[in-house]
Amino acid sequence: MNMELSRRRFMVGASAGLAGTTLGALGFGELEQAYAIAIRPFKLTNTTETRNTCTYCAVGCGIIMYSHGDLKKGEKSEIFHIEGDADHPTNRGTLCPKGAALLDMVHAETRLKYPMVRKPGSDKFERVSWEVALDRIARLMKDDRDKNFIAKNSDGVTVNRWLSTGFLAASATTNETAWATYKVVRSAGMLAFDNQARV
Ligand code: SF4
């Protein structure tokens, strides 16, 4: 991809040079300078490239996120451009309209970034730490499973079912995460198991 961009920049520069030189030969030296200044710098220069997977569906298209700011230097990172990863075997650089609009999702004011809880009787959600959220989820799951677990059906056959809780996982995870999630959910006895891609 860098080769492609370099070629594009080269072509822009060469065209500008040709036009400028021609103008210069005709006595338009200032015009030549103004023309060179007017060439827009490539917006992805000096940025951090981070490879990732589109979050929306199970196609799992590869993306490259471009950001300013070096986290290693304690700077705040700001993603300002996202495009398809031309080296990714799934999408070869293409994105559907949803994937092409990922930048809007990243910066959406309504985007959920941390655990929230709405306490009984409250009309609003409040932010809680991951520690609190995970402890609470584990406690509620354990209590519910203890109360509703079905070890055997009415014919006495072992079924080990937990039907009162479901699990919504993510489709855009790694194979390893998906494998671990599946094992945890199924070994707990849950049957209601899905993700946003409905696969
Ligand atoms: S870019 Fe479109 S097709 Fe690809 S993973 Fe995202 S939503 Fe799915």
- Which ligand 1 atom is nearest residue 94's CA? 1
* 128 in the same domain as 141: yes
Q: Give the pLDDT mean for 34-49.
A: 81
CA distance 148 to 141: 10
Phi, psi of 169 (to 5 degrees): -100, -175
Least confident of 13-27, 59-73, 88-102, 133-147: 13-27
- The one-letter code for the residue type at 84 is G
pLDDT higher for 113 or 43? 113
Ligand 1 lined by 61 (C-beta under 6 Å): yes
* 93 in the same domain as 62: yes
Confidence band of 56 (pLDDT split at 50, 70, 90): confident
Confidence band of 1 (pLDDT split at 50, 70, 90): very low
Task: Please say if the pLDDT value at position 14 is more than 80.
Answer: no
Ligand 1 lined by 172 (C-beta under 6 Å): no
* 189 in the same domain as 163: yes
Q: Give the pLDDT mean for 120-130.
A: 96
Phi, psi of 127 (to 5 degrees): -75, 135
In a domain, 134, yes or no: yes
Q: Give the pLDDT mean for 40-44.
A: 78
The boundaries of the domain holding residue 15 are 2-38
Tell me how many domains the chain contains.
4
* 66 in the same domain as 85: yes
Ligand 1 lined by 44 (C-beta under 6 Å): no
Predicted pLDDT of residue 8: 59
Ligand 1 center to residue 165 CA distance, Å?
A: 29
Mean pLDDT of the chain: 86
CA-nearest of 51, 83, 98, 86 to 196 is 98
Task: Please say if the pLDDT value at position 63 is more than 50.
Answer: yes
Confidence band of 196 (pLDDT split at 50, 70, 90): confident
- Which ligand 1 atom is nearest residue 56's CA? 7
Helix axes 2-25, 29-38, angle to 10 degrees: 160
In a domain, 43, yes or no: no
Q: Give the pLDDT mean for 96-100.
A: 95
Ligand 1 lined by 96 (C-beta under 6 Å): yes
Ligand 1 center to residue 79 CA distance, Å?
A: 19
Predicted pLDDT of residue 182: 93
